Structure 1
Amino acid sequence: MKTGIHYGIHVFLPLAIALLFYRKQWFKAYVIMLLGFLIDIDHLLATPLFQADRCSINFHPLHSYYAIGIYVLLLIPNKTRVIALGLLAHIVADSADCMLI
């Protein structure tokens, strides 16, 4: 159930945002937001690489509170807003995962 919730948020939250706020170019916005998965590259720095009971938030560098602050600031310029929404949707999914641990 935890995995379903986690990946459901990863997939459907960006889709909902794209359909609600980027109706004319929803698919492009959706794909850009899905690229928020790329911040999981920082998991490669962890040992072990995957640990089911580890919370990503503030453990991995791109999931740190500092990084999240930068993602929030990226909401301000219109040019980076879709990217920021994707990154923050990723953080929401990982936060939900942390709450379910």
Structure 2
Amino acid sequence: MSARAIFHLFLHAAVPAVLAWMFWRKRFMSAWVLMLLGWIIDLDHLLADPIYAPNRCSIGFHPLHTAPAIAVYAGLCVPKKTRLFGIGLIIHIVLDAIDCWWMHAGR
């Protein structure tokens, strides 16, 4: 696994942790876990062949990484009951988009 891939996975855990610490410190652990649940959308990778391709951009390729799905994730950020999960999904998509940019920039 490349250093970029390892760093990308690290960010998927670290960014929600930092946000949970900054904004939901009194309930840090539950906020962090709810945002980490955003990783659930990577189940759509199981539909691809191969399941993991290190230089494949997830955005627009996998069904749960498409514009209609992202619109649903944004909607989940509105109700208080689903807000942290929605934020976790949006963080996941943003980090995947950054990874796509890194791939295309040759980093």
Q: TM class, shorter-chain normalised?
A: over 0.9
Q: Pairwise CA RMSD of aligned residues?
A: 1.1
- Aligned equivalents of 2:50, 2:25: Cα separation in 1: 41
- Aligned equivalents of 1:44, 1:53: Cα separation in 2: 16
What TM-score, normalized to structure 2?
Answer: 0.88
How far 1:11 sits from its partner (Å)?
1.1
Report if aligned partners of 2:5, 2:54 keep a CA contact under 8 Å in 1.
no
Q: Identity across aligned pairs (percent)?
A: 46
Partner residue in 1 for 2:79: 77
Report if aligned partners of 1:36, 1:90 keep a CA contact under 8 Å in 2.
yes
Counterpart among 2, 13, 31 of residue 29 in structure 1: 31
- Aligned equivalents of 1:59, 1:3: Cα separation in 2: 18
Alignment partner of 1:60 is 2:62: yes
Partner residue in 2 for 1:7: 9
Structure 1 moving runs of 4+ over 3 Å: none
What TM-score, normalized to structure 1?
Answer: 0.93
Partner residue in 2 for 1:48: 50
- Aligned equivalents of 1:100, 1:5: Cα separation in 2: 11
**Structure 1 runs not aligned, ≥5 long:** none
Counterpart code for 1:97: D
**Structure 2 runs not aligned, ≥5 long:** none
Q: Which of 1 and 2 has higher RCO (CA within 8 Å, sep 6+)?
A: 1
- Aligned equivalents of 1:100, 1:8: Cα separation in 2: 15
Instruction: Describe the superposition over 1:4-63 as per-residue Cα deviations: whole angstroms up to 9, x where unpaired.
Output: 331232011100111111111010110111111111100011111111111001111111
Report if aligned partners of 1:7, 1:93 keep a CA contact under 8 Å in 2.
no
How far 1:95 sits from its partner (Å)?
1.1
